[in-house]
Homo-oligomer: A and B are copies of this chain.
């Protein structure tokens, strides 16, 4: 069911392969956290493999009733988008590939989903649900803390990025306001 990625063969077609692939992603230097392969296998034991076909919106912005899971992309591509205030034009925020994580905001708080996630290709995921996270914290608190520190660092990074964008918007709004005032005076 899963298309091999364009840059090489894929073996993430079964649950076992997906688990091992998830553990490998979790130990990559660019991954969410730096874990040994043994630690990563323990964390992955609390995750579930899930295949999602292309063009499926598996997280819906505003949804207050989903299970609050986080998804590690093993294969495929996900488009993360958010509807503007006007509720007419979706704004693409990010396009993410293997090794990236989506849904971590909804995993750690109980609010409605802040963005929508849609597969642009057939994709394979390792899913961590709220129940899985709670079980990991209860049974392996050190690993749970390590995962949560990594999630918090990821959220902090996104917060910094948003703060930069807000400052740019503030500057843009100020420049436009000045230009409008010049027009109004002339």
Contact = CB atoms under 8 A, between A and B. Distances in A.
B82 A159 contact: no
15 contacts: A82-B167, A109-B153, A109-B156, A111-B160, A145-B148, A155-B156, A158-B159, A162-B166, A166-B166, A169-B170, A173-B173, A176-B177, A176-B180, A180-B180, A180-B183
A16 B22 CA distance: 47
Contacts of A177: 176
A172 interface: yes
B149 A137 contact: yes
Interface of A: 82, 84-86, 91, 104-105, 108-109, 111, 114-115, 137-138, 141-142, 144-146, 148-149, 151-153, 155-160, 162-163, 165-173, 176-177, 179-180, 183
Query: Chain A: interface secondary structure?
Result: helix
Given A86-B171, A108-B149, A149-B108, A159 B166 contact: no
Given A166-B165, A170-B85, A180-B176, A145 B141 contact: yes
